[in-house]
A and B are shown apart, each in its own frame.
Chain A
Amino acid sequence: MHNDNTRLTQEIIRASGVNPSKCMKCGKCSATCPAYDEMEYHPHQFVYMVESGDLEPLMNSKSLYKCLSCFACIDRCPRGVEPAKLVEAVRFAVIRQQGADHMTPDDVPAKLNEDIPQQAIVSAFRKYRK
């Protein structure tokens, strides 16, 4: 089941500070999650998919954006796995995918507009993964 996603998996683990191998597959996170029915993959599945490097389906799933960041799973997990932090890290990995840059420095002058908050441009212009 292990894919070639080792590097990305490592990065997600590092960025989230979560060690998915601490998970004992009890399912209390999924039992707790208020957004469960909206999700295609559920909190305990996130954890397992990252643990086994099965990232692609997860990264392509809408589930990532259904998490409410309520942190109920973090609070209740008996093993201190913190699934929500993993969801967050995978979300970032998607946003920052290679080549997914939304802007180059050259685009900036054209976009400058009094009505657009500067933050929006800064945020669109963040650094993506090389």
Chain B
Amino acid sequence: MQRIGVFVCWCGSNIAGTVDVHTVAEALKSEPGVVFSTDYQYMCSQAGQDIIKNAIKEHNLTGIVVCSCSPRMHEATFRKTAAAAGINPYMVEIANIREQCSWVHKDMQTGTEKAIILGKAAVAKVNLNTPLTPGESPVTKRALVIGGGIAGIQTALDIADAGFPVDIVETKPTIGGKMAQLDKTFPTLDCAACILTPKMVDVAQNENIRIFSYSEVQEIKGFVGNFDVTIKKRARFVKEEICTGCGACVEKCPMKKIPNEFNLGMDNRHAIYIPFAQAVPKVATIDPNACNMLKKGKCGICSKVCSAGAIDYTQKDEFISEKYGAIVVATGFNPISMEKFDEYAYSQSKDVITSLEFERLTNAAGPTAGKLLRPSDLKHPHTIVFVQCVGSRCAACAEKGKEYCSKICCMYTAKHAMLVRDKYPDTEVYVFYIDVRTPGKNFDEFYRRAVEEYGVKYVKGMVGKVTPEGDKLKVQASDLIANKQLHIDADLVVLAAAIEPDKSARPLATMLTASMDTNDFFTEAHPKLRPVESPTAGVFLSGACQGPKDIPETVSQASAAASKVIGLLVKDKLTGNPCVASPNELMCNGCSTCERVCPYGAITYEDKEFMMPDRSKAIRRVAQVNPAVCQGCGACTVACMSGAMDLRGFMGSQIIAEVDAICK
């Protein structure tokens, strides 16, 4: 039998104003197990806590019920109080007589009656409580960052700066992500390469950072503090340690008509290539689908010209296994495909391009060496039409567009329009918009400058149709303010395509058991209060993989994620939550139901030897819960058809006892 003490708090007049606290304390005195009951103005104050501590000693209490505010507020406080007086913190229960009682009821009588009932339920539960001890698990002091865009780069640099080793896994041959493809960046118009490439060099030179480029994550096992990850390093047929990035091989390679992904197919590269001059790592990669030597065994020129002897046509994919304490997802975004938007003639005309293609067209390292020339005939375009929201805010076209606002396109379109007018004042520039969304520091000012100082023609309305005719693009659009339909002969049409998460994000989320929203953006643990953590312990989110973001926001989130990772890696051991699921192995029939419902992948099965009633031995498959992974959500306990799964601290019997006490 427990020896329970009941402590009823007034919370000043917050509770005592609507609940007769003396009556509650009196009424609970006669409940089974209760040996002491009292009330006090502020239980959470030092004096209040001393009352609890003294009572524990004086009355040899084994269990505590505090009738007070929500457990979210002070459960931890009172657990500490109990622990300080020598009893197990999990022997404390809170009856919430403030939020659930005094704050929602108006008259004293109802309030008091309900407070007594809630108190009785808590007493009934404490009678069945057992001391619980949280488990501990060690922390591997190394982090994995998946994706090497500006998000992954910033996160890795910050973690490395704090002294922890970090590995970056990047699918492309170089880190840098989309930012490496941009020309200038809003709102300050600094050149993307000038601010990004020094960071890329920092990554390459940082002793704590390893880059696995041209690689992907193959398998993830384990849990917070203890992830086991297999990384597949794809064969690039060039020995990374030896290649100096001199580019002699690239110059001599005869296969030179391969569409260049870095310039979005607007020019060509060789079969052996370095994506751009500032690539990190700056090593060559052979495209196995283009190389004659790899396809037909003929050629071998690059190996002959490489004075370092770095070419290796026999290189195989390599698999690396490593342990990590934390994983950061930074897989970024891509513009959606424009193929299905027939009305804009993207597939019909080379002169209808996306905004990312426009970035390459104005970039000094791009296909036109930074001169704005239209792709079809390399002539200077005199009339340019920008269309915003292409495929964004598109609720009706789930098969081709996205329902959300892509957030970055209003700003980059203003940037593009402004830069064109600045460099080529003879160019007429139209921007068709539904709304101009520029909420950010110096953002609206930036957009207004495009209109007021650079003379960009912003038209409230949409483009309905683009028809290539001769060397012109006939643009039919609406001007809602003039209440007119416009017909513009344009030379170039630029579509601000919606953005979406990288296609590899969904399978990655499955590997991580991390949740995603319906648009495949990673979900944060709390949209406001835990925005850089995934609900899965030990998995953190950085950059546009969590939602559309510009660079300032991406970098802020990247550093925030790094600080969370550092907070985890400085710990030697993790203290778990003892309120986790545990199976009754004798009742479990190994049906796998619980494994399927567990959102965190905490459940596995093991074959165990059991003594049967007839004293024979049998091997049975039974569920095992990993207490370091289990979040105590309880999904498995209700799913288990044999009633074998129970949640410590919230056992079926405890819940029933509470319900009985309420219904008595």
Contacts and interface: CB of A to CB of B under 8 A. Distances in A.
A78 interface: yes
Contact of A28 (B395, B460, B462, B483): B462
A126 B476 CA distance: 40
Contact of A26 (B343, B462, B485): B462
Nearest to A78: B394
Nearest to B390: A78
B147 interface: no
Interface in A58-107: 72, 76-81
A31 B479 CA distance: 8
B560 to A, nearest CB: 33
Interface stretch (A1-9, A10-18, A36-44): A36-44
B464 A78 contact: no
A16 B478 CA distance: 25
A28 B462 CA distance: 5
A2 B87 CA distance: 69
Interface residues of B, number: 21
B434 interface: yes
B395 A31 contact: no
Contacts of A77: 396
Contact of A32 (B396, B397, B465, B483): B465
Given A25-B434, A31-B485, A33-B485, A79 B477 contact: no
Given A76-B343, A79-B395, A33 B462 contact: no
Nearest to A26: B434
Contacts of A79: 393-396
B491 to A, nearest CB: 19
Contact of A78 (B396, B461, B476): B396
Interface in B437-487: 460-465, 476-478, 480, 483, 485
Interface residues of A, number: 23
B212 to A, nearest CB: 41
Given A30-B478, A31-B476, A44-B480, A36 B395 contact: no
B483 A42 contact: yes
Nearest to A75: B343
A13 B442 CA distance: 43
A30 B461 contact: yes
A124 interface: no
B207 to A, nearest CB: 51
A37 B485 contact: yes
B368 to A, nearest CB: 30
Interface string B334-370: 0000000001000000000000000000000000000
A8 to B, nearest CB: 25
Contacts of B476: 31-32
B401 interface: yes
Contact of A27 (B393, B401, B462): B462
B431 interface: no
Given A26-B389, A79-B395, A80-B395, A31 B465 contact: yes
A72 B480 CA distance: 18
A24 interface: yes
A76 B390 CA distance: 11
Given A26-B461, A30-B478, A31-B477, 7 more contacts: A27-B460, A37-B485, A42-B478, A42-B483, A44-B478, A76-B343, A79-B395
Interface of B: 343, 389, 393-397, 401, 434, 460-465, 476-478, 480, 483, 485
15 contacts: A26-B389, A26-B462, A27-B461, A27-B480, A30-B478, A31-B465, A31-B477, A31-B478, A32-B465, A36-B478, A44-B480, A76-B343, A79-B394, A80-B396, A81-B396
Interface of A: 22, 24-33, 36-37, 42, 44-45, 72, 76-81
